[in-house]
Amino acid sequence: MEKENNPGLWIAAAALAAVLVVMLAMPEKKAAAPVVATPTEEAKKTAETNDALPPEQPAPVAPEPSVALVPAIPSKPALPRDPDDPIPPVKPITPADRDNTLRVLDNIQFALRDYRSALGENPVGTNAEITSALLGNNRKQAKVPLPEGATLNGLGELCDPWGTPYFFHQQSATRMEIRSAGPDHKMWTADDVMM
């Protein structure tokens, strides 16, 4: 008699019954049978025709130009400037330095002209990519000698007389503007030289 009046037993039995009902009510998940398509007569004929043809050869892929880059040496972090110290003025570019830089830029323009004669257009990309193209990493492997007075840094970039990489601005297929940062090593300042 005690078992029949025990409410905890009735609750446990009801919970078990509810779980069983929920489990029985849930649909069973069955794995879907793979769909196998039967070939039609037309598909069989096409397959037979294709078997008779020689296999397609993949189209030749031209090697992508690559430039071996040497990691740049990280610059020293800038020290905080004392607000009482005046900013030292940048020394203006001397006429001799400007003339020398213009001569080097002119020689680079001649190299670009020779490249255009060989390939029909200017090289494109970053300084390192343009320099690499001049050195033969192009679709015709045409090598254009670097002009006298030109220097390369460790990243393969053409640099101005102060060691700063030139900035190349492609204006058209036949026109390239080249900018030197000048003695202050900063682009777009008063001492820049461009051609």
Domains and CATH numbers, the chain: 95-194 (3.30.700.10)
* 105, 180 contact by CB (below 8 A): yes
Write down the pLDDT at residue 106. 94
Per-residue pLDDT at 103 = 93
Strands 151-152 and 176-180: unpaired
**pTM confidence score:** 0.55
Quick one: pLDDT at residue 29? 57
Q: Which residue stretches of 26-147 are H helix?
A: 41-52, 95-119, 127-134
Tens-binned pLDDT, residue by residue, of the chain (195 aa): 455 567 777 677 777 777 776 677 666 655 555 555 455 565 555 555 555 555 555 555 544 444 434 444 444 555 555 666 565 566 788 999 999 999 999 999 999 999 999 999 999 999 999 999 999 999 999 999 988 878 999 999 999 999 999 999 999 888 999 999 999 999 999 999 999
